[in-house]
A = this chain, B = another copy of it.
Amino acid sequence: MMAFRKWQHSIHLSFPQLMRSGSQTQIRSVSPRCCIVPVHRMSFTTASGPKCKGTQPELTSKKHAKLKRGNFARLSGKHVDHFQSLLGSASQVLTEDLDGYNTDWMNIMRVSKILRYCNDQKLAVVPQGGNTGLVGGSVPVFDEIILSLQLMDKVISIDQMAGVMVCQAGCILEKLDEQLADYNLMMPLDLGSKGSCHIGGNVSTNAGGIRLLRYGSLHGSVLGVEAVKADGEIIDCLSSLRKDNTGYDVKQLFIGSEGTLGVVTAVSILCPQRPKNVSLALLACSTFDDVLSSLKEARNQLQEILSAFEVFDNDSMMSNQTNLKLMNPLKEHNFYIVVETSGSNQSHDEEKLNAFLETVMGSEIINDGIITTEPSKIRILWGLREKITEGLLHDGYCYKYDVSLPLAHYYRLVEDMRVRLGDRATRVVGYGHVGDGNLHLNVTAPAYSAELHSLIEPFIYEYVAKLRGSISAEHGLGFIKSKYIHHSKSPQAVVLMKQLKKLMDPNGILNPYKTLPHTD
């Protein structure tokens, strides 16, 4: 821990005590499936671990009884035999025992042949990566075939000088970041689910996360994509060039379209220099205006070394304490802020961070704080922010929302929701990437209740739409939010999207019922 004289009074915690439970549980998806599997018993509610304590998640098709299955073929023995012949004897088409199966057969030509066949036979397909999504985008709704990219997990090349990595879609984000460390490079994105999410899934869902503030969105960082269209046509735009203005940038179609326009099989990504030192400050303040004042000051004083600016409220902290037995290292306040800096010169970075802290503590914007440069302690402090999602599940049922709002209205939504729901909710919490205007609003209750649900929705979507915010900032629309697209996109834009879907996937076999509103 760094000793900053001026605010030593606030360092009142010995770090080893921070986590009373020693719990290291990570939010994980159910075990990813491999090969091609028709799955009838999966539903989106399994995508992010149990949402209901002690009960089995309900089937999507049961929960949405009015939803009609598309006019797709049903899988038969003939189809399974054909897939088996495509994959060869060393591989296996799985139809029942879906866990932990592993063979080494996947490549782009096979993805192409599988999709071509499915398209000809009108068999619906769900492309699946690490299955860590939160909106039911990567799991089947009816009896769609799962096409898992799990076995396409090879790094193709790393160019240290250019800072570019090319790899297959099934690579796990955290493993890629570890490999890049040897080249003094890093992934331009970081997510809570990094231990299991796939880069192909990240690209297909335009994943955000905590580094977006510094390194921007994947629409900028992804230099190339190799994808397969529904008809099996391979679109090779796997360029590793930073600049290439030759024709339309068609790879953008596959970034964030949730596998509905094509299956991403490989990506080329711009990787920034790995910072030589990282510092983390956990700060506390009384009002959301103080949070915004701190953000403004951080932008001004930390500029090029600011790598994250996250907020969470006291209700989030209380859940951490009650549900996960994590300790609050600071005195209780209404808001907590995580400020991370990453730079190339430790003494410069410390000096800047120190000056920033002097300003915000001197002007009483910030009332308490703790900082560290030790990696293990940084992980513990980040845990307070990253484990909120996990902690909330212990309340019973969790209604999850992920919105972008103008900063002036960012936290007002949480306060208004709290008033609206009153005692019906166990907790109404707000946390997220305030530096990007991205709020995670979560409501917990002992169990799912249609009444509570109807008080939250469509209220929240209308609230966000009125402020021209986004009803899904980084999670995407997937299955459960696709019907709300009109709250964030104009009718003309949605028509254009539907035209694009029709063009790229005329039979609609790719990830049906996702992203775009269902039409009968």
Contact = CB atoms under 8 A, between A and B. Distances in A.
Interface of A: 159, 161-163, 184, 205-206, 208, 212, 216-217, 219-221, 229, 233-237, 239-250, 252-253, 255-257, 261, 270, 273, 275-276, 292, 295-296, 299-305, 342-345, 348, 351-352, 404, 406-407, 433, 436-438, 468-477, 481, 484-485, 487-490, 492-494, 496-497, 499-500, 503, 515-516
B485 A246 contact: yes
A437 B249 contact: no
Contacts of A303: 273, 275-276, 343-344
A493 B245 contact: no
Contact of A246 (B292, B351, B471): B471
B245 A475 contact: yes
A268 B248 CA distance: 20
Contacts of A305: 304
8 contacts: A159-B406, A219-B219, A235-B490, A242-B436, A243-B404, A244-B404, A245-B470, A248-B261
Contacts of A276: 303
Nearest to A219: B219
Given A235-B492, A256-B248, A243 B473 contact: yes
Contacts of A234: 492
Q: What are the 3 tightest A-B residue pairs by CB atom distance, in nearest-first order?
A: A220-B220, A244-B470, A252-B252
A255 B250 CA distance: 11
User: How many copies of this chain sit in the oligomeric assembly?
Assistant: 2
A255 B249 contact: yes
A219 B252 contact: yes
A248 B257 contact: yes
Contact of A256 (B206, B235, B249): B249
Contact of A469 (B241, B250, B343): B241
A403 to B, nearest CB: 9
Nearest to A471: B246
A246 B162 contact: no
Given A212-B242, A345-B351, 15 more contacts: A159-B406, A161-B295, A161-B296, A161-B407, A162-B437, A208-B245, A241-B404, A241-B469, A243-B433, A243-B438, A244-B472, A246-B477, A247-B477, A248-B497, A301-B344
B437 A236 contact: no
A475 B245 CA distance: 7
Contacts of A476: 245
Contacts of A292: 161
Contacts of A239: 468, 470, 488
Contacts of A255: 249, 252
A158 to B, nearest CB: 14
A226 to B, nearest CB: 10
Given A303-B275, A497-B248, A406 B242 contact: no
Contacts of A163: 299
Highest count of chain B CB atoms <10 Å: which of A296, A304, A468: A304
A304 B221 contact: no
Contacts of A235: 490, 492-493, 496
Contacts of A245: 205-206, 208, 256, 470, 472-477
Highest count of chain B CB atoms <10 Å: which of A342, A433, A492: A492
A220 to B, nearest CB: 2
Given A236-B493, A404-B242, A492-B236, A249 B219 contact: yes
A356 B32 CA distance: 47
A221 B348 CA distance: 28
B216 A489 contact: no
A463 to B, nearest CB: 15
A196 B234 CA distance: 41
A446 B450 CA distance: 80
Contacts of A475: 245
Given A241-B470, A492-B233, A344 B304 contact: yes
A81 B328 CA distance: 73
A362 to B, nearest CB: 18
Nearest to A135: B245
Nearest to A516: B247
Nearest to A469: B241
